[in-house]
Amino acid sequence: MLHLTVGRVGFLLSRRAVVGLTNSGARMSSHSHHEVSDQVDMSQPMYWDRLDTPLPDRAWIDVLDSKDKSLKQKEKGPWTALSKEEKIALYRLKFNHTYPEMKKPSHEWKTVIGGMFIFFGITGLVVFWQGHYVYPPQPHTFGEEWQAKQVQRMLDMRVNPIEGFSAKWDYKNKQWK
């Protein structure tokens, strides 16, 4: 049962009243740190680095400073006049990563394999614990002595003598065919 003190109830009610009266009431109630998360408008062109789509919808840098604007103006002229550093700077305005940078292997596989080992280890411990503490002991019919007696009983009864169990037993030599 939940018991609230009078002071706690008063605090919660006063906080709700303050939240309801402010402009950012929804923000305050959804975020305890008074931070507002940005919403992404998926209908607008977005930038991404992917090997299968070499040209993203928009450039990597949208807002250009004066240096970048002068470089963009210089881009409209002959490209032979551009230096190697300027060409690289123009590329970096449009793209964040090059293909070799995108193809560079990450070490995420180590985290995935480690997580799998942890999962398998915990699962193994749970199975071991269940086998030791939860499940009852094996019945006596699982023992080798009981199973040998059961096989002999089935042979004596000549169970399924045409194509089955008894058909594979040689009754004269007392051994399997």
Q: How far apart are CA 131 and CA 100, in angstroms?
A: 51
Tell whether 148 is covered by a domain: yes
Q: Do 146 and 163 belong together in one domain? A: yes
Check: CB of residue 37 under 8 Å from CB of residue 49.
Answer: no
Number of domains in the chain: 3
Tell whether 39 is covered by a domain: no
Model pLDDT, residue 129: 97
Tell whether 112 is covered by a domain: yes
| pLDDT tens-digit map of 8-21 | 656 655 555 544 44
Q: Do 57 and 94 belong together in one domain? A: yes
| pLDDT tens-digit map of 15-67 | 555 444 454 444 444 555 567 778 878 888 888 888 898 888 889 998 999 99
| pLDDT tens-digit map of 65-83 | 999 999 999 999 999 999 9
Tell whether 170 is covered by a domain: yes
Q: Do 59 and 99 belong together in one domain? A: yes
